[in-house]
């Protein structure tokens, strides 16, 4: 069968990878939006200690995190060693020890049906500093050994390379969906028209424009995020854990002194791709408050990406009402690197008319259609 995937972020790349592995005929179209969420994201995989109580959301992030180790192993077997993924553990920090004790309880409870969480360990401020030397003094923590970090751009590229090796084609261009008088859909990229048995829309924050010609008002909102990349000289940082301090900021470490501090949450600014003074100030001041030892790091770059949110901050997955040949997933929001590869594999199953391993009724697309 022929499948066309529109959008090569983490979701489209994962779907393409899976379908190509199954021997399907896959074409991926991407217009290389500079604000693609996936290229900006650097990438905490640690859903278990979140206080968010929405069960439908938790089911996706839990399954998403559990899906990773096998995926990475499979990619490595193919020779893809640069996936940007490492299970370095995560350290959640707080100045109030009681909050950390509650976190341990929450995590232990969730571990009962999520053994991938690994070891949950309460750490003193000194132990925290040993694991992450630049951190501020006096912060105790909870360490979760099963947590990981992933570089979204590196993983997406590895998935696309694998898909290509298995026969997929990538076209860089702006796609639109058209429906003819007989109700048959096709895809137009520049002047070329493509037909497919299934059209899979993984267009992130831009999906509404793609569906507008079908008279579908798709409710996706873009949330702008800025994220700063720092470099520490002469430090071996590849094994440093993900740091999740109090509040909405976090710090991730990659090999060769690379530290990533993110991210801003900017609503209602549209697709403004600029790095702003206030965004950079917020990122750096929070990073240095949490980790004063970063004050001498070099500033390498600030990236910008747009998180796609659908109503109630809950992803939607399924076939488009009235257009059964069009499949879509969207709304991966702030946890799309965690759940993206898993949802991609579910989308691939849907395109192959195989049974799903999730309760799809929780994520119906109609929830995001006005
Ligand atoms: P995208 O990655 O945005 O991809 C959509 C693609 O569609 C784009 O490449 C675009 O070019 C293409 N497209 C759109 N319209 C068209 C068209 N008409 N024709 C052709 N192509 C088109 N998640 C985590 O789990 N953990 C984290 O720590 C984390 N941190 C993040 C930090 C930042 C700064 C950001 C921005 C996000 C973060 N996320 C994180 C969230 C995660 O990155 C996103 O949820 C996820 O990447 C969304 O993937 P996507 O494939 O749906 O969309």
Domain-embedded: residue 268: yes
Strands (E), 214-349: 221-231, 242-244, 250-254, 258-262, 298-309, 316-320, 323-330
- Local confidence band at 95 (pLDDT 50, 70, 90 cut-offs): confident
* Number of neighbours of residue 113 by Cβ within 10 angstroms: 8
**pLDDT at 53 (0 to 100):** 85
Judgement on whether residues 208 and 249 belong to the same structural domain of the protein: no
ipTM, two decimals = 0.99
CATH (domain of 27): 3.50.50.60
Same domain, 7 and 125: no
Mean pLDDT of 169-177: 98
pLDDT of 273: 97
- Residue 183's pLDDT band (cuts 50, 70, 90): confident
> What is the 281 CA–ligand 1 centroid distance (Å)?
24
- What's the pLDDT band for 52 if we cut at 50, 70, 90? confident
- Position 80 in a domain: no
Determine which residue's CA is closest to atom 46 belonging to ligand 1.
336
The C-alpha atoms of residue 206 and residue 368 are separated, in whole angstroms, by 14
Tokens of 52: 């968010």
Residue 248 has pLDDT above 90, yes or no: no
Rounded to an integer, the average pLDDT of 224-252 is 95
* Same domain, residue pair 102 and 238: no
Average pLDDT over the chain reads 96
Examine the domain organization and report whether 295 and 240 are in the same domain.
yes
User: Are 267 and 223 contacting, i.e. CB atoms less than 8 angstroms apart?
Assistant: yes
Looking at 112, 146, 180, the residue that finishes a domain is 146
Calculate mean pLDDT across residues 347-361. 95
Give the residue, out of 4, 7, 251, with the most ligand 1 atoms within 8 A of its beta carbon, to mutate for a pocket test: 7
Nearest 5°: the CA angle 50, 335, 321 is 120
| pLDDT band of 64, cuts 50, 70, 90 | very high
Q: What is the DSSP letter of 296?
A: T
Number of domains in the chain: 3
- Residue 116's contacts (CB-CB under 8 Å, 6 or more residues apart) are 65, 66, 69, 146
CA dist 65 to 23, 150, 294, 309, 366, Å? 26, 11, 29, 20, 27
Please check whether residue 53 lies inside any domain of the structure: no
Average pLDDT over residues 269-293: 97
- Ligand 1 atom 31 nearest Cα: 41
State the residue for tokens 């520490």: 232
In this structure, the answer to whether residues 106 and 117 fall within a common structural domain is yes
Task: Note whether 26 and 200 are within 8 A (CB).
Answer: no
Please, which residues have CB within 8 angstroms of residue 367's CB and are 6 or more apart in sequence?
310, 311, 312, 314, 316
User: Which domain, by its residues, includes 189?
Assistant: 2-39+153-220+312-368
Are 139 and 247 contained in the same domain? no
């Amino acid at each position: 069968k022929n499948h066309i995937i529109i959008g090569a972020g983490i979701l489209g790349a994962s779907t393409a990878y899976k379908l190509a592995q199954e021997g399907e005929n896959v074409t991926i179209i991407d217009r290389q939006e500079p604000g693609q969420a996936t290229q900006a994201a650097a990438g905490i995989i640690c859903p278990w200690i979140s206080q968010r109580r929405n069960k439908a959301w938790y089911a996706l992030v839990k399954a998403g995190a559990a899906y990773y180790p096998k995926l990475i192993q499979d990619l490595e077997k193919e020779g893809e060693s640069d996936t940007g993924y490492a299970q370095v553990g995560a350290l959640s920090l707080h100045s109030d020890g009681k909050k950390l004790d509650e976190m341990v309880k929450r995590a232990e409870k969730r571990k009962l049906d999520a053994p991938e969480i690994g070891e949950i360990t309460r750490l003193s401020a000194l132990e925290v500093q040993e694991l992450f030397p630049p951190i501020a003094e006096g912060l105790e923590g909870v360490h979760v050994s099963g947590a990981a970090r992933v570089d979204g751009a590196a993983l997406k590229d590895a998935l696309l390379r694998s898909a290509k090796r298995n026969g997929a084609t990538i076209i860089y261009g702006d796609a639109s969906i058209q429906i003819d008088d007989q109700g048959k859909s096709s895809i137009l990229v520049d002047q070329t028209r493509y037909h497919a048995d299934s059209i899979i829309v993984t267009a992130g924050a831009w999906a509404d424009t793609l569906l507008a010609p079908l008279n579908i008002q798709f409710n996706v909102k873009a949330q702008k995020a800025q994220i700063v990349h720092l470099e520490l000289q002469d430090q071996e940082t590849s094994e440093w854990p993900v740091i999740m301090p109090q509040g909405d900021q976090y710090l991730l470490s990659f090999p060769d002194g690379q530290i990533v501090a993110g991210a801003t949450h900017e609503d209602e600014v549209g697709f403004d791709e600029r790095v702003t003074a206030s965004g950079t100030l917020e990122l750096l001041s929070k990073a240095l408050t949490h980790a004063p030892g970063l004050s001498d790091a070099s500033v390498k770059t600030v990236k910008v990406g747009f998180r796609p949110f659908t109503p109630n901050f809950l992803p939607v997955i399924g076939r488009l009402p009235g257009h059964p040949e069009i499949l879509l997933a969207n709304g991966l929001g702030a946890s799309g690197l965690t759940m993206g590869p898993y949802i991609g594999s579910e989308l691939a199953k849907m395109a192959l008319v195989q049974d799903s391993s999730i309760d799809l009724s929780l994520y119906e697309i109609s929830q995001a259609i006005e």
